[in-house]
Amino acid sequence: MKPDIITIIGKSNSGKTTLMEKLITVLSQKGYKIGSVKHAHEGFEMDKKGKDSWRHKHAGASATLVIAPGKTALIKDDDTDHIKRICTHLSDMDLVLAEGFKSLDLPKIEVFRKDGGHKTPLALNNAFLIAFVTDTGHAPKVPVFMPDDIPGIAAFLETRYLTQADL
């Protein structure tokens, strides 16, 4: 399966988005093409009401492609599973970081902070847990990183999932 998909999981306010943003910055600056996916709630619509693309979609189009100089957006009815959709739409990426999707059987990095307002992590015993980002005393049997160790987490991902051949 190309590209590899790594899920960034954690409870709300744990720092998932901040970690994703920082990892994307570091890995992109190294020359890798990083795709990102955000799990959204059911019924989420990104197209703005009243815009032409919204009007096309609501008129009955099964797919609407918006093309602008240097950008493309696709709004499409799609009931295939999440992993297949990610691979289909981001197949030209070197690595995909997906925020959420904690129930999918994909490699997971859990973010768990003491000031996140939660008492227990989500995935300490999950077979797909590959790394744990925390400022607490939790120490699962995977590499553990401090939340501010972005270079270390990026190096872990680079060593395990990216190669110079990907550049």
Could you read off the pLDDT of 56-86 as tens digits, one per residue? 877 878 788 787 888 888 878 888 888 888 8
Q: Is residue 58 part of a domain?
A: no
Count CB neighbours of 62 within 10 A.
9
Q: Is residue 56 part of a domain?
A: no
Q: Looking at the 3D structure of the chain, how many domains does it have?
A: 1
pLDDT for the residue 139:
87
Q: What is the mean pLDDT of the chain?
A: 87
* Cα 137 from Cα 140, distance rounded (Å): 10
Q: Is residue 47 part of a domain?
A: no
Provide the residue range defining the domain that includes 20.
4-42+78-166
Which CATH number does the domain housing residue 123 bear?
Answer: 3.40.50.300
- pTM as predicted: 0.84
pLDDT of 20 > 70? The answer is: yes
Q: Is residue 49 part of a domain?
A: no
Could you read off the pLDDT of 123-133 as tens digits, one per residue? 988 999 999 99
pLDDT of 51 > 80? The answer is: no
Q: Is residue 106 part of a domain?
A: yes
**Type and span of the H or E element at 54:** helix 52-58
Q: Judging by beta carbons within 10 Å of its beta carbon (0-12, 13-18, 19+), is residue 122 exposed, middle or buried?
A: middle
Between 38-42, 73-77, 95-99, the lowest mean confidence (pLDDT) is in 38-42
